[in-house]
Structure 1
Amino acid sequence: MSGELLGESRGKIIGTRIVELLETSPKIETTDQSTGKLLDIDMQDISTARSVWRSPDTFYAEGIGVVTSTSGEVAMYTGTGMGKGSLWSPETLFHGILLFRSSTPQWSRLNGIVAVVEYTVDAEGNSHSRIWEWKGRP
């Protein structure tokens, strides 16, 4: 199903807030800042996601992010997916898709592909992301 590893990063949750009280759960916004590599290029990433809890241990999330290289190149992305965790702990396991767009030569290869992401957060708020290109069926 997934193909080439596009990138990996490690970071930290730098902000969390409640943005809305829904009928059955809160909508929570979380911001993450990380560093790593994307297409073998050193990068920094900042992303914000809004999560809605569907059950005591399952949530749906949508987010946006901006990736910059050390030489100033920029790529942006949107994402969506499902996760497991607890409303009372930062520990999370999330799987989703990312859609990138970039006008820079370094990351223009990301335009038009679907990327699969695995995102984890430990009890201290440390994050780890791995991103693959979705290859689908041969």
Structure 2
Amino acid sequence: MKVSGKPIGEFRGKTIGMRIVEILENGMKTESTDQATGRLLGTDAEHIGTDWNVWRFPDKISGEGIGVITSKSGEIATYTASAFGKGTVGSSEVKLHGIINFRSSTSEWSSLDGSSFPVTYEVDSEDNIHWKIWEWKEKT
């Protein structure tokens, strides 16, 4: 997935927990929890989220996640996300592309309520995460 437009959110942090949920015929299902800091719509924010990923060997991944983003001023946004991509067997490295769906009724983030945006998500071999939320840009 190639995204166009500008990022409306960006977060960096760490995977703080991971476990194998299920062994599949040609892969596994994992669960991981991340904590991160960053910005959403220009506001400093903190994030905590949990993802469930199905790894299909050797390197295909599909996943879904849920999370909460909060600001020091009391803004709150929750989300669900779905993504697909590639990972490295024997490592926590992944690169995923997908869609994130928001719910928020707080003043600064109310424009996100009920909206979906493209998202890119990466984890390196040392469990550092980096993800971006992109605006939709119409082709003209």
Is 1:81 the counterpart of 2:76? The answer is no
Name the structure with the higher strand share.
1
Following TM superposition, by how much is the alpha carbon of 1:62 offset from its aligned partner in structure 2, in angstroms?
Answer: 0.6
Q: Which amino acid aligns with 1:66?
A: V
Residues paired across the two proteins, number: 138
Q: Which segments of structure 1 move beyond 6 Å, counting only runs of 4 or more?
A: none
Percentage of matched positions with identical amino acids = 54
Partner of 2:137: 135
**What is aligned with 1:28?**
30
Partner of 1:119: 121
Correspondence list, 1:8-47, <5 A: 8-47=10-49
- Corresponding residue number in structure 1 for 2:66: 64
Alpha-carbon RMSD? 1.4
Residue number among 109, 113, 135 corresponding to 2:111 in the alignment: 109
1:92 to 91, 94, 100: 94
Q: Equivalent residue of 2:111, what SS?
A: helix
The Cα of 1:72 is off from its aligned counterpart by: 2.0
* Structure 1 gaps, min length 5: none
1:67, 1:76 within 8 Å by CA — same for their partners in 2? Answer: yes
Q: Is residue 26–residue 57 contact of structure 2 (8 Å, CA) maintained in 1? A: no
TM-score by length of 1: 0.92
Give per-residue Cα distances to partners, 1:6-37, cap 9 Å, x unaligned: 11111000000011222322110011100000
